[in-house]
Amino acid sequence: MLTKAKFIALPSSLALILTVAFVARASFAWDQERKIPREALAVVPFAQETGNIAYALANGQGFSSPFRNDTGPTAWLVPVYPLLLAGIFRLFGAFDIPALNAAVFLNILFSTATCVPIFYIGKRYAGLAVGALAAGMWAVHPAANMVPFEWIWDTSLSALLAALLLWATLCVANSQRLRGWLGYGLFWGFSLMANAALGSLLLPWLAWAAFQRKEHFGLSFPAKLKASNRWQGPALTAAIAVLCCVPWTVRNYVQFHRLIPLRSNFSFELWSGNNNIFDPHTGNAMSRITVYGEARQYTQLGETAYMQDKWRKATLFIRTHPQLELKLMLARILSTWLGTQHPVTDFMVTDSWLVRVVFLTNALLLLGTIGGIFFLYRRRHPLAFPLAITPIIFPIVYYITHTSLRYRHPLEPMLVLLTANFLAALLGFANFGPVRE
């Protein structure tokens, strides 16, 4: 029998939130799959670097061929997600509907599971109501529902890893057990092999953890800790994380005879957002960029020479177009946070209610993020720094290169947490603990 107390507790139930999240994501995927021809569904979602490398792996060609052509070894991506996708290809067949369903289902699990760290982080720093609110927001968040189907990439996995890394940072902070810091380092190493962009958060979060005190979360820890001991755990974590990347770095050096710690494609990404196609004065000299043209050049030059060519062209464009480069960067910043360079115009002209919901959600998340940071810093809350530094640091590489809401997605759990904190502060039901004077 459902009592009044149980009825009131339902919105705070993590099991209910997880169920809603899974059903919402699965429903979106099912609806989209009905609308798209099966011939396209079997191929198009995999027609990108991740799918191509996974196909090469599944066919025994090794980690290679980002453009599908047999072009030899590559370091275009880090290995975790292509290996997962290659396993799906081996089990369900490459470029087939069963493989797509398996990949989407895995992404849905990743995205649904992200509710768990969000729930417990919110509960820890502001009480059960905020934890449930944040997890519930993630459950119905439009981007979190769309990405598992729209992108057969590491995107959903990266959002889960980012949320888990923040949760692990809170748990390991002030820990005297080096075993905990060692495990934390191993987790960082795995995460870097899944998404190299997460590495931008390693040092800030480690530094924050090193400076924590027991009064923040009621942990039993000596009030006066020697500075050398304070840094012992974080130093171990950083060392282990770096060591986890060594085998991949050695593999890249053997294959390419140069140091590539994680990925080789930064030059390509920089050129993609900084090239003559953005210059209105170039005329028809470079009217478009095609996958076919880039694949042909990559095949002719090889990966190393191809990336060197892109670096030369991108840096030349940046040096010779300083004013245009500033405009492009400002446009990328706007697109990162609002989803488009012209949010008001695009909101009005689109005939898709879903696109309008995405635009509106982006705007509300931006406001909520700013408000959440303000309230946490005003109260000098210990989580102010790790939550606030994340939306500042993580998108920088995309401001410089090129951007997409997909690239921002690993940041979304933190934005949801900050927005939930802001709403809770406005409504007065957050339990932030004692204010530090």
Q: What pLDDT score was predicted for residue 133?
A: 94
> Per-residue pLDDT tens for 222-245?
444 455 566 788 889 999 999 999
Q: Residue 353 class from Cβ within 10 Å (0-12 exposed, 13-18 middle, 19+ buried)?
A: exposed
Identify the bridge partners of residue 64 per DSSP, sorted by sequence position.
73
Q: Using one digit for the tens of pLDDT, what is the confidence trace for 154-166?
A: 999 999 999 999 9
Residue 92 has pLDDT above 80, yes or no: yes
Instruction: Report the percent of the chain where pLDDT is more than 70.
Output: 89
Separation CA 100–CA 93 (nearest Å): 9
For 404-417, letters b (16+ CB in 10 Å) and e give ebebbbbbbbbbbb
pLDDT value at residue 210: 84
At 203 the pLDDT is 94
Sign of the torsion angle spanned by Cα atoms 189, 167, 361, 367 = negative
User: Is residue 391 within 8 Å of residue 411, measured between CB atoms?
Assistant: yes
Nearest residue to 191 (alpha-carbon basis) of 219, 156, 158, 155:
158
Rounded to whole angstroms, the Cα distance separating 414 from 334 reads: 19
Task: Report the distance separating Cα 358 and Cα 49, nearest Å.
Answer: 26
Residue 285's pLDDT band, with cuts at 50, 70 and 90, is very low
CB-based contacts of 66, cutoff 8 Å, min separation 6: 49, 52, 53, 74, 76, 77, 298
Q: So what's the pLDDT on residue 256?
A: 94
pTM above 0.85, yes or no: yes
Kindly tell me if the per-residue pLDDT of 113 is higher than 80: yes
Per-domain residue ranges for the chain? 9-216+226-427
Q: Give the pLDDT score at 280.
A: 79
Distance, in Å, from the CA atom of 304 to the CA atom of 4, rounded to the nearest integer, reads 66
Q: Which residues contact 273 (CB under 8 A, 6 or more apart)?
A: 328, 332, 400, 401, 402, 403
Rounded Cα distance between 97 and 43, Å, is 9
**Other C-beta atoms lying within 10 Å of the C-beta of residue 87:** 15
Distance of CA 105 to the CA centre of its chain: 18
With tokens 């949760």, the residue in question is: 167
pLDDT, position 126: 83
Residue 1 has pLDDT above 60, yes or no: no
Arithmetic mean of pLDDT, 149-157: 96
Mean pLDDT in residue range 267-277: 93
Q: How far is CA 48 from CA 44, 66, 260, in A?
A: 8, 7, 22
Cβ 364 vs Cβ 419: under 8 Å: yes
